[in-house]
Structure 1
């Protein structure tokens, strides 16, 4: 501190630095929470059908044809009350191949199928895994919470790796 400078100027500077630091941490915390919320919301659209499958039509699909973003094939039911269908759609991904058979759950009132079982659950939560990775960068850089960022990043990486390994 400069001897000719009054002590109140130093206190005001410290207060403004603290306010700016709090503002940065609050803004980055809100951004990280928004990213995680978007990841959960993006995942829940598919995950709800896989995780809450009781009372839904479940069975298997033998993929016969893929075009664009969807693959199609006949549906063979395995649950009581489900009816066989000549054609249902399943989203095309690296884990869906022509000629393979997959355990699926049908979305109510549609001919759209989603994978079930452990692979389906993990695959449904892939958007959350990506959100965890992105939020870890925001938490580390904007909030300076390095350990928390490592936990978020490793959780996202483990989720994405498990989904990839389970789908093979």
Structure 2
């Protein structure tokens, strides 16, 4: 049985909509990750040092910052609170330019910065597999996203 042209048009429209949703999820995950990851990946010329966490609130932790290179010490530097950031811990960090906000460096910080992209890969895998019916690509996206989330969990 042949499909009519309106049936083919509907299938193409559905596939285009699903591809757009998957692309939107991936771009949003990348953009959300890039806000933190850029400070780790493009850290040349930024202030590197250690942060001794002394106090934690609901969303942020603060502490004394000791730079690696000759630069002034800072009494109050903040970092986003996560599972591994707690009172009494000393972390290797890089400061965001022009602020007193720190971002964790090293393998754990780098993987943690890309967690939103890992989640976006998992979500887009559902759209790719269910909406576009590209099961191999969906399993690949889910595998990469899951591996990224697992690696960041183990590194923290």
Regarding TM over 0.5, the answer is yes
Paired positions, count: 156
Pairing 1:95–2:81 present: no
Q: Are 1:104 and 1:116, in contact at CA under 8 Å, matched by a contact in 2?
A: yes
Runs of 4+ in structure 1 off by over 3 angstroms are: none
Query: Shift of residue 33 of structure 1?
Result: 0.3
In 1, the alpha carbon distance for the partners of 2:84 and 2:117 equals 18
| CA deviation map 1:5-25 (0-9, x unaligned) | xxxxx5xx4322221111111
- Structure 1, unmatched stretches of 5+, are 2-9
User: Among 68, 71, 74, which residue is 2:58 paired with?
Assistant: 68
Q: How much is the aligned-residue C-alpha RMSD, in angstroms?
A: 1.1
| CA deviation map 1:77-97 (0-9, x unaligned) | 11x343211110000011212
SS in 2 for 1:93: coil
Q: Which has the larger radius of gyration?
A: 1
In 2, the alpha carbon distance for the partners of 1:160 and 1:82 equals 35
**In the TM superposition, what are the counterparts of 1:153-164 in structure 2 within 5 Å?**
153-164=142-153
- Equivalence for 2:12: 22
TM-score (norm 2): 0.96
SS in 1 for 2:44: coil
TM-score (norm 1): 0.89
In 2, the alpha carbon distance for the partners of 1:81 and 1:135 equals 45
Pairing 1:131–2:127 present: no
